[in-house]
Structure 1
Amino acid sequence: MSLILPVPDTLPAPLQSAADRLALAARSPATLRAYRTDWDAFVTWCRTQNVMPLPAQPETVAAWVASRLEQGRKAATLARGVAAVSCAHEMAGFESFSRSRIVQDALRGMRRTLGTAPSRKAPVTVAFMRHMLAAQPDTLIGLRNRALLALGFAGALRRSELVALDVEDLVLQEGGALLSIRRSKTDPDGAGQTIGILNGSTIRALDHLSAWCETAGITSGLLFRSVDRHGRVRGSLSDRSVARIIKTAAEIVGLDPERFSGHSLRAGFITSGAETGADALLIAETSRHKSLDVLRHYVRHASLLKVHAGQRFL
């Protein structure tokens, strides 16, 4: 006679906690920060409506989407909010809203109302970049910002990649350097990617980096660091700081800072490459796009008037 033990409905607490940590680790730090913000917003809204946030009813989540839509939130923000609420429910052992018809109908209605075209920020093209670099003061903060802007542009880097760079990630070569990117949005498992950085004669990213590191006394560890108001080099920069640096640099040269974002350096390299006729595959070697479909948008936009079907008869 064999003894069959009953299977418990839930995992023991230590195992469940470990499983939850792994589930959270599958998401990027930026996503988790956004999820926490969205979840806090949802809880606050539920309290004002005197309804239960956890577990929430599908009708509650749909009503929250509708209220945020009235506040002028973007489609991507609304969809991310629902994902955050679903994640919180899954972590707490409740059913998510991924299959809820009521919630999915609310999201579809939102997309029909707002449209699905992404709101794209302006790229910092090479012409803008030259002015931004020239306008930076010769202070410690100015040297850092100049180096950050130039390297972000020359490497088509994301803001999260910029703030994670160490001095050891850059290996100088004749005419440029090899830059190792240990982890990125498209490489969440940390396999690592290496790109080439040209110093060039216009942007001179490596020259600006050398000036920053030498003045700041940085020989190892984090490449870009915060600087306090007394000119003392401190700890790490946040990826939001990169966005602020870009916006401020744009404003200094007379551009509308609201048109630019942390993505503008990366978009600027790709757009500038497309405008000068660089091969898409060569651009992708630096930008590390896995799919050329995304890259094709930039190339097509830059070529709309240069290569036109009506060029010979209009």
Structure 2
Amino acid sequence: MTLQPLVFETIPPALQDASDRLVLAARSPATLRAYRTDWAAFVAWCLTQDVTALPAQPETVSAWIASRLEQGRKAATLSRGVAAVSCAHELAGFESFSRSRIVQDALRGMRRTLGTAPTRKAPATVELLRRMLDVQPDTLIGRRNRALLALGFAGALRRSELVILEVGDLVPQDGGAFLTLRRSKTDPDGAGQTIGILNGSTIRALEHVSVWCEAAGITSGLLFRSVDRHGRVGGSLSDRSVARIIKTAAEAVGLDPERFSGHSLRAGFITSGAEAGADALLIAETSRHQNLDVLRSYVRRASLLKAHAGHRFL
């Protein structure tokens, strides 16, 4: 008797749910939030056009790209929207649009129309950061914001990294501290990365962190937490809260808050290092750039005038 292999005509629901969770876990929380927003926008648009959203035809996705282009959406936003629609189709068992000639041609046309140069936010360089720190009020919120701004700059940290830091991730050393980043954009699997944080004489990040923790009574757990208007310490901050703190600090010193973002602290450290003549590899030790070409773009931009070929004759 020949044994026939057991074949499921469809994947059992429980197994499919587990598979879907793994697919979603491969993406960051920020990406998933953006995907949900994009998918909801696509479904709403399909309803107004009286077309099917799932499964959608390639022509429908192409028309959606054109519609959003007319609304002034950026190239990165449009590309992410298509990725979100493709992800939703894959999870529902339909073919994605990664190989659709119609959709890919629409995306190429979009890039030619808009260009692909990213919109750079202003870096919070060391001089700007000092001003931002100086204007923080002498309140619990002010102490938290001062610590967050200073440590975010000193560690060239992303906002997603700041909000998950714990007190135990900072280990004091002579002259500074070791900071362990348990998970980050370039380390989604959580292998962990350790960088050095200098206290220094200008930013004094570790002093600001110590003042915040003592004032808030924080000895363990999350390092940065919400504070309500009554001065009560709450739970975790969102990465959007970090962006708002940076924008508010920029506005407080007379700068346009729209020019700054959650990335400004990280960009500020890199730009300040480049302007000070620090070696790109040493900057990368802190910034943890895996692609040095990206880092070199910051260094080159910072030295466009300092190392200009015309200094000797213009």
TM-score (norm 1): 0.98
1:53-132 residue pairs with structure 2 within 5 A? 53-132=53-132
1:165 alignment counterpart: 165
Shift of 1:2: 1.6
1:192 alignment counterpart: 192
Shift of 1:174: 1.3
Shift of 1:310: 2.7
Matched residues, number: 314
Indicate the SS of the match to 1:177.
strand
1:150 alignment counterpart: 150
1:252 alignment counterpart: 252
CA distance in 2, matches of 1:235, 1:7: 48
CA distance in 1, matches of 2:83, 2:236: 29
CA distance in 2, matches of 1:6, 1:210: 61
1:11-50 residue pairs with structure 2 within 5 A? 11-50=11-50
Indicate the SS of the match to 2:310.
coil
Shift of 1:8: 3.3
CA distance in 2, matches of 1:92, 1:287: 38
Percent identity of paired positions between Structure 1 and Structure 2:
83
In the alignment, residue 267 of structure 1 is paired with which amino acid?
A
Is 1:236 matched with 2:270?
no
Per-residue CA deviations over 1:73-104 (Å, capped at 9, x if unaligned) read 10000000000000000000000000111111
**Structure 2 unaligned regions, length at least 5:** none
1:133 alignment counterpart: 133
In the alignment, residue 241 of structure 1 is paired with which amino acid?
S
CA distance in 1, matches of 2:205, 2:36: 36
In the alignment, residue 277 of structure 2 is paired with which amino acid?
G
In the alignment, residue 7 of structure 1 is paired with which amino acid?
V
CA distance in 2, matches of 1:303, 1:48: 50
2:269 alignment counterpart: 269
Shift of 1:34: 0.6
Is 1:291 matched with 2:291?
yes
In the alignment, residue 169 of structure 1 is paired with which amino acid?
D
CA distance in 1, matches of 2:195, 2:3: 60
CA distance in 2, matches of 1:144, 1:9: 56
CA distance in 1, matches of 2:9, 2:86: 21
In the alignment, residue 84 of structure 2 is paired with which amino acid?
A
CA distance in 1, matches of 2:139, 2:38: 38
CA distance in 2, matches of 1:3, 1:172: 64
Indicate the SS of the match to 2:312.
coil
In the alignment, residue 251 of structure 1 is paired with which amino acid?
E
Shift of 1:305: 1.1
CA distance in 1, matches of 2:6, 2:264: 57
CA distance in 1, matches of 2:212, 2:161: 18
Per-residue CA deviations over 1:223-259 (Å, capped at 9, x if unaligned) read 0000011110000000000000000000000000000
CA distance in 2, matches of 1:48, 1:127: 50
TM-score (norm 2): 0.98
CA distance in 1, matches of 2:246, 2:137: 15
**Structure 1 unaligned regions, length at least 5:** none
Per-residue CA deviations over 1:120-173 (Å, capped at 9, x if unaligned) read 100000010000000000000000000000000000000000000000000011
RMSD: 1.0
CA distance in 2, matches of 1:313, 1:10: 74
CA distance in 2, matches of 1:98, 1:197: 42
Indicate the SS of the match to 1:128.
helix
Range with greater deviation from structure 2 (139-148 or 12-21): 12-21
CA distance in 2, matches of 1:279, 1:95: 47
Indicate the SS of the match to 2:179.
strand
Shift of 1:50: 1.1
In the alignment, residue 97 of structure 2 is paired with which amino acid?
F
Indicate the SS of the match to 1:311.
helix
CA distance in 1, matches of 2:16, 2:83: 21
